[in-house]
Amino acid sequence: MNIRIGNGYDIHRLVPERPLILGGVKIDHELGLLGHSDADVLTHAIMDAMLGALSLGDIGHYFPPSDPQWKDADSLELLAQVDRLIQARGWQIGNIDSVIVAERPKLKPHIPAMRDRLSTVLNLQSNQVGIKATTNEKLDATGREEGIAAYAIVLLLASSVSN
């Protein structure tokens, strides 16, 4: 088999006095995401999709919140580690598609910077990294601005015939 697909989902709580970092981009907002790492929910969903494509479990297995070395970790560094892990197994990313679910702030102006950050870390063209943003029409936790969620799908291509 020379293609694999994976999906990832994550949600983090919005709280005061935390930075809001999405796709490696710090966004000005009065609330930020709570988490052991920098709580970059989009990057976490993408990492889970990459791991899921190879049935390698989830990021909690590789970067457990119980381990102090991941406290306030830069999720882009974790993403680079996951990328090395899939490359070591003979795979590369074909493309990523993702959705961020956030009532506020408006994310559209920040999407080009997020695509740029993520594609740079992953050594991809920015047109291989799809990011969309939607509100939840004020419904449920994301709609009440209690948190921000993200979904991602990743297609992996075999980078060698050994797969």
Which residues are near Mg ion by CB under 5 A? Answer: 10, 44
For Mg ion, the nearest residue by Cβ is 44
Using only C-alpha atoms, what is the Rg of the chain? 15
Residue among 44 and 110 whose Cβ is closer to Mg ion = 44
Least Cβ distance, residue 27 to Mg ion (angstroms): 17
Residue among 15 and 158 whose Cβ is closer to Mg ion = 15
- Kindly report the backbone phi and psi dihedral angles of residue 76, in degrees, each rounded to the nearest multiple of 5, phi listed first: -65, -30
Least Cβ distance, residue 150 to Mg ion (angstroms): 9
* Cα atoms in the 13 Å half-sphere on the side-chain side of 84: 7
Residue among 73 and 158 whose Cβ is closer to Mg ion = 73
Least Cβ distance, residue 89 to Mg ion (angstroms): 23
Least Cβ distance, residue 3 to Mg ion (angstroms): 26
Burial class (CB in 10 A: 0-12, 13-18, 19+), 99: middle
Provide the Cα torsion 45, 47, 53, 58; round to 10°: -90
Residue among 10 and 83 whose Cβ is closer to Mg ion = 10
Strands 91-101 and 129-134, sheet pairing: parallel
